[in-house]
Amino acid sequence: MVLIVALAIWLICILLVAPFVVRIRLTNFLLAVAIWLICVALTIPFVAKTWWMPDPITDHARLVDGQMALTFVVTGVVFILAHLALGYAVLKFGRDRSEPADYTTGNDRWELLWTSAATVLFVGLVFMGYTAWAEARFAEAATQPGSPDREVVEVTGQQFVWNIRYPGPDGKFGPLDVNLIDDSLGNPLGVDRGNPDGKDDIVVPRMAVPVDKEIEVILRTKDVLHNFFVPELRLKLDTVPGIDGRLRFKPDKVGTYEIACSELCGLGHYKMRSYLDVMEQADYEQWLVEQASFLQ
């Protein structure tokens, strides 16, 4: 941080002295300074992490952060180089130059250089990020369905709340019937309580999961598009009517994290939110028992 500020002050000093040393028109000078200062001002908060992402709570999220950091480095270098060059050109090649403008129609070597550099950097980046994307959406799961190391939670969006369903002690989600849906009777999903699988299903407005276990989330919606997003998980997916979205994550930090809807869903979009509570296994089991007791 100190280094950056020192660098910035040094840059400003140089810039202030420059026009007196070299004969440069005011417009050229101001524009070059503006371009460089904008470049520095935009970069500092990213380097200093003044406003930054919340800490990740899964290995996958850390993988995403790695890709993010790599992208910051690559784009940062291009950003600074391009602005340095632009500012320099503006400063150096004013109309007061004694020699005439160069007659060049291009330079194959330079053009080949930046074309291949851009190709390698940009396309290379995507492939570097392949693993993290695969793990988010289509990689083999570490656990089998039904294994004790995996918890399945169903998250259903509706204007403007989240409904979280657990399968209950039997580990099976009961069938849903749209005709049974009744918000006022406390059955927002239409769970058939007469069905043996559905009898013990737990439906709550807040999501709890055990720490260090693979969690599978089934994402659904009753009405319009919503988006399930927990910043600490670096995971995000639209809930689409008619489609079951699936996300998996394995949190390794106990705590409370916020779920804020991230796809415009109507008037109350800005207040559609819930919480994800990551708990110790024992606390989680206790919590499940408490929630089940409300069913009686």
Partner 1 sequence: MNEVAEYVEIHRHPEPKSFISRWIFSLDHKVIGIQYVMLAVVAVFIGMALSLLIRLRLVWPEQAVPLLGDLFPVGAPDGVMTPEFYLSMLTMHGTMMVFMVLTTAPQGGFGNYVLPIQIGANDMAFPRLNMLSFWTTFLSFCALMMAFFVEGGAPISGWTAYPPLSALDAAVIAGTGQDWWIISIALFCVASLLGALNFIVTTLQLRAKGLTMMRLPLTVWTWFVTAILGLLAFGVLLAAGVLLLLDRNLGTSFFIPAGLVINDQLIDRSGGSPILWQHLFWFFGHPEVYIAILPGMGVTSHILATFSRKPVFGYKVMVYAIAAIGGLGFVVWGHHMFMSGMSPYSAFVFSVLTMCIGVPSAIKTFNWIGTLWGGKIRFTSPMLFSVGFVSLFVTGGLSGIFLGQPTVDLFFHDTYFVVAHFHLIMGVAAIFGMFAGLTFWFPKMFGRFMHEGLSKVHFWLTFLGVYAIFGPMHYLGMLPHPRRYAEITGVDYLAAGGSAEIHYFITIAAMITITAQLIFLFNLVWSLFKGKVCSDDNPWEATTLEWAVPTPPPYDNFAGRIPTVYRGAYDFSLPKAKRDYAMQCNSDDMVYRQAAGD
**Residue positions counted in the chain:** 296
The residue behind tokens 């060049």 is: 104
- Residue from the set 21, 140, 179, 296 that interacts with partner 1 by CB under 8 A: 179
Residues 215-254 that bind partner 1 (CB under 8 A): 222-225, 227, 229, 231, 234-238, 240-243, 245
- How far is 7 from 80, CA to CA, in rounded Å? 14
The helix or strand, by DSSP H or E, that contains position 155, with its residue range, turns out to be: strand 150-158
The helix or strand, by DSSP H or E, that contains position 242, with its residue range, turns out to be: none
Residues 51-110 that bind partner 1 (CB under 8 A): 51-54, 63-64, 67-68, 71, 74-75, 78-79, 82-83, 85-86, 89-90, 93-95, 97, 100-107, 110
The residue behind tokens 């070059």 is: 32
**Per-residue DSSP letter, 192:** -
Using a CB cutoff of 8 Å and minimum separation of 24, what contacts does 3-6 make? 4/44, 4/47, 4/48
Verify binding: residue 118, partner 1, rule CB under 8 A. Answer: yes
Residue among 3 and 178 whose Cβ is closer to partner 1: 178
Verify binding: residue 125, partner 1, rule CB under 8 A. Answer: yes
The residue behind tokens 């659904």 is: 220
Verify binding: residue 175, partner 1, rule CB under 8 A. Answer: no
Site string for partner 1, 189-208 (x = CB under 8 A): -x------------------
Total residues in contact with partner 1, by rule CB under 8 A: 103
Verify binding: residue 23, partner 1, rule CB under 8 A. Answer: no
